Structure 1
Amino acid sequence: MNAEQKLIPPAIGEIWPGQGGIYAGVMPARNGQEAYHLILGDELGRFEWGPYGDESPATSLTDGQANTLALLERGAYPAAKAAAAHNAEGHTDFYLPAIAELYEAWMNIGYKDWYWLWSSSQRSAYDAFDVDFGDGIQGGGGKLGELRVRPVRRLPIQ
């Protein structure tokens, strides 16, 4: 894309043609990260989060991209692997969202019957954060439980 082209997002909750999913709004700047557009990919199915009892390096509440990379380096994390393997409209930069990204998407999009979705944010050696898209409740599901995975990708704001 050249400097003269500017991405113009659709309305929040609408498919963003050519970007691989639903536009979930702007993720505000936090913890040294710049604000960015958040795109929600398709639901990929139900997966375990990862090893029960394992203290993973995925501790960021705001940076799902960093969490996913850290989980992939460690190996046995099915939800992160599924998110990172997603390919939509030629985009291969999807990742498992951090809890703040998932909650921001819920706040912007509102009620959906997507039920419980995994985040990439570990809560403890035994649990990881999740969000119920039916009502916005955040929880801490057991890592061996299978919850839905909906990957995200980010686009810089120009």
Structure 2
Amino acid sequence: MKSPLINIKNLHISVSTFLPEQLAPEVSIFVPAAPATPSSGALTPPAIGEYWVGQGGLYAGIQQGDDGQLHHKIFAAADIGRFAWGEYGTETGATSKINGVLNTTTLRDADGSFPAAEAASNYTADGHHDFVLPSIAELFHASCHIPDSFAKETYWSSSQFSANHAYHMDFEYGWLDYTVKGNERVARPVRSLLIQ
């Protein structure tokens, strides 16, 4: 008698089924993230001196505020006119040398007329309504980082020096000084984005 070619004592068979998506090659899908909020550190600024698309102006770099936190500084792309500072002979409380938001808010809430601060706070760009008249430190920051973006003019800050005088920055000679509030000087709004 001939022996069988295959001798099977125990046979175990496993069958697996695959879903169609398991057979498809691996594909990476890019899903864009939701836009960052303006106060988010996730925003990526352009190079200093370039227009920051969607943010309303020229990027002037990062500056530390009086709160110790870091802020992106964005200046309007152009001057908005010549104005008097306003209210000669009046102490206003807008005395911060660093915080243009605080100074401009103080001037807007004060009795009297403050044309440079009013014009700056009424300025809008790229849908942003949070522009202010810069403090003297913010103007100095601009003179260090984006001086060629300014005319060779004297610009008002929102920082009061005294009842009769306010600080200004001269972009022709680099002088930081003060002058009579009734004099007309150029205004250039700024906005800040907190880096978190």
Deviation at 1:114, TM superposition (A): 4.2
Q: Deviations over 1:120-146 (max 9, x none)?
A: 000111110000112321111210000
Question: Residue type of the partner of 1:153?
Answer: R
Structure 1 counterpart of 2:3: none
Mapped partners of 2:161, 2:190: distance in 1: 20
Question: Residue type of the partner of 1:118?
Answer: W
In the alignment, structure 1 segments of 5+ residues that lack a partner are: none
Deviation at 1:60, TM superposition (A): 0.4
Q: Of 71, 93, 101, which aligns to 1:36?
A: 71
Question: Residue type of the partner of 2:161?
Answer: R
The change in CA–CA distance for 1:50 and 1:155 in structure 2 (over 3 A counts) is same
Q: Which moved more, 1:96-105 or 1:3-12?
A: 3-12
Mapped partners of 1:52, 1:98: distance in 2: 18
Deviation at 1:16, TM superposition (A): 0.7
Higher strand fraction (1 or 2) = 1
Q: Tell me, what secondary structure is at the counterpart of 1:153?
A: strand
Q: Does 1:133 align with 2:171?
A: yes
Q: Deviations over 1:8-59 (max 9, x none)?
A: 1111111111111110111124x32411000001311000001111111101
**C-alpha RMSD of the superposition:** 1.7
Question: What TM-score, normalized by structure 1, do the two folds share?
Answer: 0.92
Rg larger in structure: 2
Mapped partners of 1:33, 1:80: distance in 2: 24
Question: Residue type of the partner of 1:47?
Answer: F
In the alignment, structure 2 segments of 5+ residues that lack a partner are: 1-34
Mapped partners of 1:25, 1:114: distance in 2: 21
Mapped partners of 2:143, 2:159: distance in 1: 16
The change in CA–CA distance for 1:66 and 1:113 in structure 2 (over 3 A counts) is same
Once the two structures are superposed, the pairs formed by residues 1-158 of structure 1 within 5 Å of their partners are 1-2=35-36, 6-29=42-65, 31-41=66-76, 42-74=78-110, 75-111=112-148, 112-158=150-196
Query: How many residues get paired?
Result: 157
